Structure 1
Amino acid sequence: MDIKLRSFPKQKIFTTAAFILCVVMFIGALSAGAVAIKAATEDEVFSGSVDELILYNHYYESASFQREYQMKLDNILYLIDRFKSEEYIKSGKTISDGRMEDAIRTLFYETTYSYEAYENVDNGYGETRTITIVGQNPSEKYGADFEVPSVRQSFMNDHQEEITRISESLIMDDLRAFRSYQKALKEIEGFSFYATDGVNVVTNLNTTESAIDSKQFTKDPAYFIYENDTLNKVPSSQEIPNTGMKYFDRNLEETLHAHYNEALKVYFSFDEHYLDEKEAAYAEARADILQWVPVVVICALLSLVSLVYLIVTTGRKNKNGEITVYKIDKLLTEIQLFIIGVLFIGGGLTFLNLCLEALRYGVYFGGYYYGFGGSIFVTIFLAAVVGLGSAGIGLAFILSCVRNLKSGRFLKNSVIYNAVYAVWYGVKALYYGGSLMRKVVLITLAICLLSATMVLAPVVAIVILALAPKWVKKFEEIEKGVNEVKSGNLTYKIPLQGEGELDVLAQGINEISEASNKAIQNELKNQRLKTDLISNVSHDLKTPLTSIITYIDLLKKEGLDCEDAPKYLEILDQKSSRLKKLTEDLFDAAKASSGAIPVRFEKVELLSLINQGLGEMGERIEASGLEFKITAEKEKYYVNADGLLLWRVVENLLSNVLKYALEGSRVYLNLKEQAGTNGKASMVILEMKNISKTELNIDSAELMERFKRGDESRTTEGSGLGLAIAKDLVRLQNGWFDIVIDGDLFKAIVMLDTYSDNPEN
């Protein structure tokens, strides 16, 4: 025990250290991962995923390079299919009817309408400037719905200038978007493209259309050729190591099929300069991320080892063999799992986002970006609080789930498990339950099913109206009976009207109240016996004590030389002996009742013990005039008992006879042996019978109570403890003691186990 107590603080220290290490290393792994993510995704030339930077050595093999084809193809197709050419845009064909309709409708319903329009600037470069036009709300002027044809036509006739400006504004939007997309493609160094739908052409090449041939694109190390509904692409997605992009070329073909045109041609390529720049950026990003991989791995391993240690050590049993349950363990399992998910997913993502913001030397807050300065420290502090807090609280809930698993509380704390268990328990209870449960469930289900139909619903209502009042009446009678019993009227009986379930319940309540009434009567009797006990003890102690005090006063007055001094001393001796005997009997009774007397079982011959008692009390027997008759079937009766305690029992029984038996009558002592049954040992039975000198108007059970005598006047010298002591002493010796009263016949019965030489018998 001392060793365990000394080791407990060390174990607690180790557990706390492991908890802190697990949380810190977990946050360290995430922080290193955030640095790696930044290195992989925020390069000016290359931005890709962490996994491809780790798994693939070259940009040419990466999925990012394959996605370059998709992005370039989408932009080219958007130009050739959506905008076609500047002439096509200026003609207004890019503006759909729905788009124009929405713009006019907005103009009509705006409270104070305003719109932006573009106006040409006469500077020789074809540039435009934005102007804003503001006017009164047309809907207030016309006071009607725009959907009314007359209102609609009137509004459009009155606002031709504004509608024209809106149309020009939409054309300029499309023209600006076309030029922006075209400019973005043309400014990519090392990237060449050409696309035509048979009428319109988009390209960044300076040669004429007739001089452009797909072969000039195949001279570059990576190219994309689509013509005559056939795709030729290098490198093919089937050839790169990234198996996740194996069927990427099929996606490109499906994109082209969505824009199918017999005259459609799309050529583009990436030269060595483009690929070399991307490869250098890829190699730099890969080197940046690989330097953080060992840090992530080491932190993750340390966190994992600490977590395993905590899982193994948490939930250990205490010295009582029980697993300590904390308040956190009592939460519902679903709540614990939800908190764990929110903390590790939401908290983890929030922490990574804050880490990335800190690595960018700024923080986003309220829609604004704050550069390097005091804000970066705020971001780092928030990241630390969110990361450590989420990981620490989440780990505490994980360990709580582990403790619940070890103690078998994990499912018991679950709402889903309890709901399923409740349904299963209900079905099981219905199957194994009594008739009442089956009746209630089946009747309830029948009522639900029958009342769901229009035809049977009135029938169900009639049945309920006929039976419900009868059941309610029985219930009210039972409720009244319970209230009567609760208020103390234990003699009240609930009227029984049949043999139904409620009648059986009423009968049970009647029996309970009857049993309670008997128990109360017995308790009152016990209280009366206790009161009598106190009165009798007080009387029996007070009587000799009063005599002693009286004769001591006489001796003080008359002196020791008086004529009656010897008589006074003799009386004092008798009364003090009486008081001593009474006190000893009282202590013996208390010890015998509590079982505090040591018992040493041995072989005792009962008949010899009785003869010895009769011999020692010969003078008293002769003075009483009693005649003792002994009847024995055998010469010797050996019992398994304590010799001293058994002698006290015999002595108390003989003393009781000498005090209360009728003078000159006979006392019968019968000894016999009774065979055992059901494997039990045989027993020796001693019966002692005599005729009482006084009327025995007392119950035999009361006669064995302490300080209880057959003469209620208590004029005899007995203490009333003899039979009580005898009963307790016999009980201590694994025997049985009883008293039988039949008129003035008094019989004491003692039964003890027969002594056997074989301990197993």
Structure 2
Amino acid sequence: MDIKLKNIKNNKFVKITIFLLAVALSTSCLSIFAYLNKHTNSSFEAIYEEDYLQSDSFRSTFTDLTYDLERLLKYYKNEEYIKNSGTIDNKIKDSTNDYCTYSWELNNKYSNFKDNFYRSRSIEYDSVSEEEIITLFEKKYTNEIQMYKNKYIDKELNNYYKSLKQINGIDGLYYHMSSGEYEHSNVTNSAKEFFKSQPVYVLFDDKGYDTLPQLEYIYTYHCLQSLSYYPQDVMYAALSNEFLNPIITKWNNDRNMLTTGFAIISILLLFFIICMFYLIYTAGKHGIDNKIHLLAIDKLYVDVNIIASMCIICPSFIFAFESFDELGYKFFIPLSVLLSIVAINLILSIIKHIKNRTIFSHNLIYKLLSLIFIFIKRNLRNLLNSFPIAFKMLPTPKKANDLRNIIKGVDYIKNGDLDYSIITKSKGIYGTLASDINNISDGLKAAVQNELKSERLKTELITNVSHDIRTPLTSIITYVDILKKEGLDSKDAQKYLDVLDLKALRLKTLTDDLFEVSKASSGNIPVDFDKVDITELLKQVMGELSKKIESSGLDFKFNYPKEKVFILGDGKLLWRVIENLMGNVFKYALNNSRVYIDILNLKNHASVVIKNISAYELNMDTNELMERFKRGDESRSSEGSGLGLSIAKNLVELQNGQFHIKIDGDLFKATVTIPKYKEL
């Protein structure tokens, strides 16, 4: 009896029959599901819903109706409003960026006009107010503007008529809406009681909000939120049985069809699961032996098999359901059969590898990891091959003496004597080791010196910050005290207020610079790399600072290549760098001296070099001058914060550039180097 049962389980004909039955059951489930999806308008959630008026389908329908009604009232208002450019005015009012939002063609025309306006006059962009340019544009293109307006008005009127016709064409929908002078209604009796007599309604006026059934989500989630800002708005909408009865009947029919369909699907799935249990149990078994036999398709790597099957199943499944309406069962059923065969074979192939205990070993990722492990293992052997170096360290009398000197030297250096130098007689491994230790000692000595210098600079930083903050703060306290004593009616009150304003602005500038240098040094400033014409950028900066240049009494000499020089950087950050360097020139350059600004076109980089004669004696090295709050004016009587060069340096480095300064007597030279832009 056991042998007969085993023969039945391993019988190839039985396996094929069960496999085809599983494919047929899977195809039937997919086909019924597709049929329900096509022939029912209700969502599948209707199975769990008892009443149409509490269903998702009703919520969606009523929400759309209230949205259309509110748009008719609040956006279109009426025919006269649209003809008088009301919707156009609202478009322009709501827009913050574009000149003309109602016509992209007109907006493009304006953008081209604006670009040509600045290009033809060779003036800085945005140096003329937007209102002036718009006035010139409207004067030149009066007829075209009116044409585009009329075109948009015609479009809005068509939409208005279409929307009004669509709403008025709905049998059983009653509404009455008003907002100030605008009113829409399809009933003669606009009393609230009339709408309340209907089975479904939503009422909104200055007395509040009321619905039947309870539809709070319409108020909180959808269109009626905008009505709450206008107490004069009234919106009454109701649905009668004439509207509801056909829909409720169709919804109930759909619900019954869905319930029956899913019951059939559940039964089919149960039989499908039974078939799959049998196929899984017998997967890989061909005879009375207990070995697992793999087919040709099973020789594919498990992960490759899964990915390939998913690439077939997912797109085919989506395409089948999307194309069901056009192609029907003639196309859907064969494709469902194919999907079922591929999916079942994939499952059975995975089961075979699990039974064969090759689910991990017969895996492409596992193979790759194994190769990586073998590679690491082989390199480990190479490390082991380095042991012969130990032979070289075997001590001879000379090497033993060198080893003693090394141990003695390490002890001296460990105890802080960084000037101690280890001397060895041999030139082998011990000589190299001694030389390396001496180099480490030199590095430690340099590190200690740098640390001492850093501590000194920190002390100076604290002193300078305290001085720069205390100076304006002391003035503010002093003048506030004077104003308290003399009162605001004093004849000098305005003068005191001016001083207070000046000192407060000084404090604000100082704190702003502190915040900016903190962001720049920590790398928290976003960098937008782009193609930048460095010559044009410098010209724009010079144009922006033209008034300061004229009033400074300095003679600026600007030299740049004839060809365009493009760099890869952030235009806004580079603008800030050049602005800081120019500010440095205005504050510290000697009166009536020359300032040289040169652009150098190098092979892979472009450099901006700014040179000026300092009005103050520069008796410090360049590293100190780059420190925060360090000024060329050591008396700290000038208006600078001492942060400009530090900010500039950090901003340049954020753009993969270099920033250097050089002092030669009273000559101050700053160089900004940025990589050039390379065309792909």
Per the normalisation by structure 2, the TM-score is: 0.47
Per the normalisation by structure 1, the TM-score is: 0.42
| Bigger-Rg structure (1/2) | 1
